[in-house]
Amino acid sequence: MASKSQCRQQLIEIQKRIVEKLQAEIRSSLKKPSKELLTYREEYESEFKNFRRCSTMAELIAAAARADIIYNGDYHTMAQAQRIPLRILRSLIDHRPRITLALETIRIEHQSILDRFMADSLSEREFLEAIDYSRTWGFPWQNYRDLFTFAKDNAIRVIGINSEGHRGRGALRRRDREAARVIAGEFTKDPERLVYVFDGDLHIAPSHLPREVNEILALQHLHPKTVMIYQNNENIYWELARQGLEQETDVVLLDDDKFCVISTPPIIKFQSYLNWIENTKELASPYPKSWGPEWTGNCDLYSQILELVRVISDFLSIRVDGLDTFTVYSPADLDFLDHLRDQYGLTLSEIRTIAEHIGNNESYFIEKANIIYIANLSVNHAAEEATHFIHKTCAGARRENLSRVEDFYCRVMREALGFFGSKIVNHKRQAPTLDDFVHLRRKHPNKPPEQIDDLRVIGYHMRKHKELERIYLATGKLWRTCGETYQLPLRLHVGLTHVLGYMLGDYIFHGLLKGRLEKSYVRDLFFTNFSDLEESLGTYLTLVEQLSPIESLSSDGRPSSSLRSR
């Protein structure tokens, strides 16, 4: 068995590879960056070549309390990023009661509308409509709402510093210059007032927005004391992880009055962007262990997933003991593989299989230890794994040493229930279709060739399986459960059963909504173990027979429990 340091390093390397893939996907979703943007980004990244030492939130707050202007970077798609200024402001308000909060969220020309909202002359809905929030900003409003609420409750003035998107050479500089005029004007009116700037992370590099502000103020012989607060730089995180300090460190000191808050792993940061593109709701990020409940409330991952377990089990009227007996891990837990060995007694082979899932950035339910591993904060993924846990609690663990065919249909049925459970939480979640597996290179231009090849193989066997189902529905003759479809390498075996299960789970959800299935029947599926082929393949065929578009309804609106002759 690998040593603790080897397991930890293995997980770090896995996460680095995943982050590289996520960054490549993000780049492919954006237009080719201009030379100016590349330079702008390089200037920002130069701030993170190293750091002076580990710091604390208390040291950061003390420095912030002495500042005239604070620059706090934002990663717009990640809810955790919007919690950081809220936490800092809560700590500052007793020291600096006169504060202006300058937000990129709001356009400069919308200041009068913002003032009316802050004075409660406009409702939230009226405010968002008046500023055309979805077009002028568009990032999740619920992640920013608490900042406005806190500002209202504590008489904090709020100003907008964003401007209409500039184009052409020098666009970023012009945007910074316009924001700087507003910030400098606010400071000039009342130099004793703290100006707290919350702007996109690239903007707050010293040579960007802060320099523009300083140049304007220098003309008036004003030289404000500034503090920079960056967030979740991946280079800093990897260095902390290398030293084994990522769990106990939530702030590092980069240089004099320059801090970087480390509140979440890089995987979660970059995945949040892709989830935003896909309009996928997210859980709140896991918080550093040093953050007490006064900051996190009930937003820890366990509480959020427990709520999903309750929603799904309540919908199906499942009443069993043990629906709270699970543990949650995330990419923030770099000692995860060691815990599997030391605390849960998993074998080397079992840990390797789990590491492969982690390497594919997959959330995963480890039924032997009742562990839910959340690789992606997508609510879809979390609800799916919560459903797997509910099923295991109701039906027990799957039998060991299943044959390849038994394992195939057991996986399909379990994946079907997992996808069905996620649809209870998010009815808009889309299942894969046959069309998703054609023209793969055109649809996924940035996927490596080996992944495209895997998708082609999965697509081929999925189409083959669906054709066998069609023949079965037409003739009643079952195909032979042998051959290459059941002997694929594990990654393809898992991929194919995943796809077939998701498609069936989608059928089950819509069958329930349309009255083709009774809820009691679906609830009974959660108490079926599916380790035996009669249970798994038999149920699969029954559901396909009942829910296929070409099949007629039975007289009582529920599937026949009989399995056709095989």
Separation between Cα atoms, residue 63 and residue 259, nearest integer Å? 10
Computed over every residue of the chain, the mean pLDDT equals: 89
Handedness of CA 330, 331, 336, 337 (dihedral sign): positive
Residue that the structure tokens 């996190």 belong to: 296
The pLDDT of residue 405 is above 70: yes
For residue 402, the model assigns a pLDDT of: 95
> What is the pLDDT averaged over residues 414-442?
91
pLDDT in tens, 298-318: 467 888 899 999 999 999 999
pTM of the model: 0.74
What DSSP assignment string belongs to 267-314?
HHHHHHHHHHHTT--BPPPPPPTT--HHHHTT-SHHHHHHHHHHHHHH
Residue 566 has pLDDT above 70, yes or no: no
- The pLDDT of residue 168 is 62
* 276 close to 77: Cβ distance less than 8 angstroms: yes
Residue type, 52: R
Weakest-pLDDT range from 100-104, 441-445, 470-474: 441-445
Q: Are strands 194-200 and 69-74 parallel, antiparallel or unpaired?
A: parallel
Contacts of residue 469, Cβ cutoff 8 Å, sequence gap at least 6: 544, 548
Structure tokens, 526 = 């959660």
How many degrees, rounded to 5, is the angle at CA 513 between CA 504 and CA 275?
Answer: 65
- Strand (E) positions, 167-215? 194-200
Structural domains of the chain ordered from first start: 1-31+282-376 (no CATH), 33-263 (3.40.50.11550), 398-566 (no CATH)
Cα–Cα distance for residue pair 286/74, rounded to 1 Å: 17
| Predicted confidence (pLDDT) at residue 518 exceeds the cutoff of 80 | yes
57 pLDDT more than 60: yes
DSSP annotation string for 31-88: PPPPHHHHHHHHHHHGGGS--SEE--HHHHHHHHHT-SEEEEEE-TT-HHHHHHHHHH
